[in-house]
């Protein structure tokens, strides 16, 4: 196993300039995070607290084992997506340890539009359930929601991955013996009522918890009868008369302690420790921002990155001297073995074949895969087309698609076009996907898109015998560049849940170690590859 050697002039002029530029990117992400964790406006938070309710993040802290981390998924979901501010997409989701067992937690934030479900809220809820399913984890739903955000019903109700999928997931995961536990801490209206109704076990909190298919307003409109929310569907009704809920809690803390008791008595594995001794890298991950050039056109030195991410900076490299625009090798993070693929240039036929082979090896040996994206795409040009680059690239995409070992993706630079697919982009099922603040992702770079579209325009105009002056070309290109810069930015990717988190380089090892720890305890799945185009 080779120890990677760093050649960076740490503290030199270039290093300092890069680190400074990186600081600005970090600040932008930090500002978005601050907005996300604050929840709804002051007034909504005051009203919430006046009802004796904890904020959703306080509920989660009170639920989790003391001193254990919360691996948050989609904290920036919804950021800037709608006319209204929807901090954290109105729902907080992630993985935490409850009574010694890793669990997925889904907590509505009633201070954000009454905890109603926007499209991104649904996306986050379903994503959290997917994480539970893939890693074999119980789900705990801390429910406090007015159900569907009615003005956007078209984008949340009818389709395959809309509201109904939440309930189907509960039923299917219950059938997989993954405990589904609901705590009704506020409103649970209409479709939302099916969350507690479908869970294996439901707790309801006195005074604030309500469950009903039609709220007091609807009952009045439909039948003319006036009834208050507690009489219609409060804790007394549901624990004494209807049995829609199983446990009566006098307050929120009592409810959360009941969840901890329920989880404690469920059979299931405790989180798994690392099989190897965890070791720090030889080089400090805090140096990473200084080695990523402030100029995004300059390459990112792949080995320097690995030297700061892998335990002991050690890598057993696979085919070091061949197909070297991708580096493949095995190492460890936090004591968990991992097969790493990191781009070091454009993908050629050799690099794609090497990567496909390496993925096969990791699948045979049950080694989780980590894809570090820094890729503009596959090599183009007549020579390469004639050499069958599409066929060789397809081998890599096929291997990535079929690999059933846990896969993780982290965008450390660009992640464009088919390069994103080959490196296990979102569509290829990474169990967790993150992005550094400097990273970008799109079908192609903004400059390339602007050039392609301006050439198309130029040929259209030429057919009409019209000129396309260089000033007109520039005026045509700039808005395209702007659109691409905005849409490929980590804040936009995270807002749309194309990635689960924007991860700071310095926090990356901890984030990956948590992800690998989850996978280590999860059920194994056999890989069966399809036909490889030889
Ligand atoms: N769709 C869209 N917006 C909704 C909503 C819904 N289903 N339910 C509540 N809101 C909005 C309110 O208009 C309000 O918006 P504003 O802050 O811009 O004024 C905000 O959410 C908070 O609602 P409010 O009624 O002031 O808060 P509350 O804490 O007293 O009550 C609810 C929250 C959810 C219990 C209550 O609003 C309610 O019963 N809503 C209707 C729920 C329903 O019938 N849903 C059917 C879904 S299929």
The closest residue, in CA terms, to atom 9 on ligand 1 is 114
The closest residue, in CA terms, to atom 42 on ligand 1 is 146
Nearest atom of ligand 1 to the alpha carbon of 190:
48
Query: What pLDDT does 6 receive?
Result: 96
Residue with tokens 């690998």: 516
pLDDT digits (tens, 9 = 90+) for 381-393: 999 999 999 999 9
Determine how β-strand 314-318 pairs with β-strand 2-3: antiparallel
pLDDT digits (tens, 9 = 90+) for 360-379: 999 999 999 999 999 999 99
What's the average model confidence in pLDDT over 81-94? 97
Query: What pLDDT does 192 receive?
Result: 83
CATH annotation of 43-265: 3.90.226.10
Alpha-carbon gap, residue 145 to 188, rounded angstroms: 6
Contact of 490 with 436, CB cutoff 8 Å? yes
Angle at which helix 119-135 crosses helix 163-175, to 10 degrees, equals: 10
Query: What pLDDT does 257 receive?
Result: 98
pLDDT digits (tens, 9 = 90+) for 469-484: 999 999 999 999 999 9
pTM for the whole structure: 0.96
Query: What pLDDT does 321 receive?
Result: 97
Residue with tokens 């290109």: 477
- Give the residue range(s) of CATH 3.90.226.10 domains in the chain: 43-265, 285-443+488-520
The closest residue, in CA terms, to atom 38 on ligand 1 is 146
| Distance in Å, CA 149 to ligand 1 centroid | 8
Closest CA to 497 of 177, 256, 161: 161
Contact of 196 with 173, CB cutoff 8 Å? no
Task: Tell me, using a 6 A CB cutoff, whether residue 215 lines ligand 1.
Answer: yes
Contact of 400 with 426, CB cutoff 8 Å? no
Query: What pLDDT does 61 receive?
Result: 98
pLDDT at 331 over 90: yes
Residue with tokens 């919360």: 70
Task: Tell me, using a 6 A CB cutoff, whether residue 191 lines ligand 1.
Answer: yes
- Which residues in 150-183 are b (16+ Cβ under 10 Å) and which e? eebeeebeeeeebbebbeebbeebeeeebbbbbb
pLDDT digits (tens, 9 = 90+) for 382-422: 999 999 999 999 999 999 999 999 999 999 999 999 999 99
Query: What pLDDT does 521 receive?
Result: 82
pLDDT digits (tens, 9 = 90+) for 482-499: 999 999 999 999 999 999
Confidence of residue 266 (pLDDT cuts 50, 70, 90): confident
Closest CA to 128 of 143, 145, 141, 111: 141
Contact of 213 with 226, CB cutoff 8 Å? no
Residue 90, Cβ neighbours under 10 Å: how many?
Answer: 29
The closest residue, in CA terms, to atom 26 on ligand 1 is 114
| Distance in Å, CA 244 to ligand 1 centroid | 23
What's the average model confidence in pLDDT over 264-291? 90
| Distance in Å, CA 113 to ligand 1 centroid | 6
Report the chain's terminal Cα–Cα distance, integer Å: 31
Nearest atom of ligand 1 to the alpha carbon of 51:
29
Query: What pLDDT does 395 receive?
Result: 97
Sign for the CA dihedral angle at 247, 251, 254, 256 comes to positive
pLDDT at 255 over 80: yes
Nearest atom of ligand 1 to the alpha carbon of 216:
39
Query: What pLDDT does 271 receive?
Result: 73
pLDDT at 269 over 70: no
For domain 285-443+488-520, which architecture applies?
Alpha-Beta Complex (3.90)
pLDDT digits (tens, 9 = 90+) for 186-231: 999 887 899 999 999 999 999 999 999 989 999 999 999 999 999 9
Q: HSE (CB half, 13 Å, CA atoms) of 295?
A: 4
Alpha helices in 118-228 (DSSP H): 119-135, 163-175, 194-198, 216-223
Query: What pLDDT does 522 receive?
Result: 84
More confident residue, 521 or 188: 188
Residue with tokens 């007034």: 43
| Distance in Å, CA 112 to ligand 1 centroid | 9
Taking phi over 0 as left and psi of -120 to 50 as alpha, with beta for the rest, 216 belongs to alpha
237: DSSP letter: I
Closest CA to 362 of 316, 309, 325: 316
What's the average model confidence in pLDDT over 297-302? 95
Contact of 396 with 381, CB cutoff 8 Å? no
Q: What are phi and psi of 336, to 5 degrees?
A: -100, 125
Alpha-carbon gap, residue 306 to 316, rounded angstroms: 12
Alpha-carbon gap, residue 301 to 294, rounded angstroms: 13
Query: What pLDDT does 523 receive?
Result: 82
Whole-angstrom Cα Rg for the chain: 25
């Amino acid at each position: 196993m080779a120890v990677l050697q760093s050649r960076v002039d740490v503290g030199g002029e270039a290093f300092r300039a890069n680190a400074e530029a990186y600081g600005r990117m970090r600040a932008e992400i930090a500002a978005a995070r601050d907005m996300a964790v604050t929840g709804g406006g002051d007034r909504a938070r005051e009203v919430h607290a006046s009802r004796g309710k904890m904020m959703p993040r306080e509920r989660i802290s009170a639920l989790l084992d003391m001193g254990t981390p919360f691996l948050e998924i989609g904290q920036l979901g919804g950021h800037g997506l709608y006319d209204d501010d929807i901090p954290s997409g109105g729902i907080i989701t992630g993985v935490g340890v409850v009574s010694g067992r890793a669990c997925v937690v889904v907590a509505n934030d009633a201070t954000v539009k009454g905890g109603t479900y926007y499209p991104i809220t649904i996306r986050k809820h379903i994503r959290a359930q997917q994480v539970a399913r893939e890693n074999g984890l119980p789900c705990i739903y801390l429910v406090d929601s007015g159900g569907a955000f009615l003005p956007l019903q078209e984008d949340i109700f009818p389709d395959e991955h809309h509201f109904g999928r939440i309930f189907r997931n509960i039923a299917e995961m219950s059938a997989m013996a993954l405990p589904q536990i609901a705590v009704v801490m506020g409103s649970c209206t209409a479709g939302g009522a099916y969350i507690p109704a479908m869970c294996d076990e439901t707790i309801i909190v006195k005074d604030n918890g309500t469950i009903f298919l039609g709220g007091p307003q609807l009952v009045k409109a439909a039948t003319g009868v006036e009834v208050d929310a507690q009489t219609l569907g409060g804790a007394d009704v549901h624990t004494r008369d209807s049995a829609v809920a199983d446990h009566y809690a006098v307050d929120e803390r009592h409810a959360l302690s009941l969840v901890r008791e329920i989880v404690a008595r469920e059979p299931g594995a405790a989180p798994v420790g690392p099989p190897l001794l965890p070791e720090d890298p030889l080089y400090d991950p805090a140096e990473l921002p200084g080695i990523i050039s402030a100029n995004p056109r300059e390459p990112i030195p792949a080995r320097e990155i690995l030297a700061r991410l892998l335990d002991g900076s050690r890598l057993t490299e696979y085919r070091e001297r061949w197909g070297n625009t991708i580096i493949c090798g095995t190492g460890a993070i936090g004591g968990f073995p991992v097969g790493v693929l990191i781009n070091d240039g454009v993908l050629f036929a050799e690099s794609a074949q090497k990567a496909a082979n390496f993925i096969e090896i990791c699948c045979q040996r049950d080694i989780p895969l980590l894809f570090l994206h820094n890729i503009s795409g596959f090599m183009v040009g007549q020579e390469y087309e004639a050499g069958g680059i599409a066929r060789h690239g397809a081998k890599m995409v096929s291997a990535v698609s079929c690999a059933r070992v846990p896969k993780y993706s982290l965008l450390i630079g660009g992640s464009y076009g088919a390069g994103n697919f080959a490196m296990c982009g979102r569509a290829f099922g990474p169990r967790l996907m993150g992005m550094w603040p400097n990273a970008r992702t799109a079908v192609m770079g903004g400059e390339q898109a602007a050039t392609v579209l301006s050439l198309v325009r130029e040929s259209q105009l030429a057919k009409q015998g019209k000129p396309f002056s260089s000033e007109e070309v520039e005026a045509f290109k700039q808005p395209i560049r702007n659109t691409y810069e905005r849409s490929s930015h980590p804040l936009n990717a995270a807002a749309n849940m194309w990635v689960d988190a924007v991860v700071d380089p310095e926090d990356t090892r901890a984030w990956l170690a948590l992800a690998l720890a989850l996978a280590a305890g999860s059920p194994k799945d056999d890989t069966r590859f399809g036909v490889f185009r030889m």
